[in-house]
Amino acid sequence: MDRINIRKMMLDDIDDVHKIEEEAFPFTTWKKETYIHEVTLNNFAHYFVLEIDESIIGYIGMWIVIDDGQITTIAVKREHQGRGYAKKLMNFAMDYMQPPVKKVSLEVNVKNESAIKLYESLGFLYGGIRKDYYGPGMDAHVMWVNLDERH
C-alpha cells in the first residue's frame, strides 16, 4: 500500500514542484523564484506537498489573511490525476485554515472542467469572471466557499 503524506513545502522541494507546475500550467508557469519567495518571505503564505512513498506528486499553496483564505495554486502530476489527490489537498487546506478562516476563494481557468467540478463538489460557488486572468483570452472563474457552510 502506498504511503501518502502531506507536509510543508521546503526549499529543496521547489525543483520537483516546478516540474509539476510546468506540466500543469504550460502557459502560465510560475517562476522558481516565486515559490522561493512564497516559502521563505511571504508571512501570509502556506505551501504543502503531497508525497507518495516520499516522492512529490502534488502541491497546494494558500494565503491566510486575518479570516480570509485564498488558494493560490494546486496541481497534481498528470499520471496521478483522477485518483482523488487534488481533493485530498483541497480538504487538507480547508481544514488547515480553520480557524480563523471563514471564507476561501480561488481562481480557476474557465476551461478547466475537472477542476471546476472538484471545487463545486467541495461547496465552492461562482463569484464572477476575471477577464484575461491567465493572459489574453484566458479567463478565470472566481469561486468561493464559506467554510462553516461546506458539506
Which residues are known catalytic residues?
A: 107, 119
For residue 61, CA distances in Å to 15, 73, 96, 137, 140 come to: 15, 5, 11, 25, 18
DSSP state of 136: T
Could you give the 3-state DSSP secondary structure of residue 144?
Answer: strand
The counts of H helices and E strands in the chain are: 4, 7
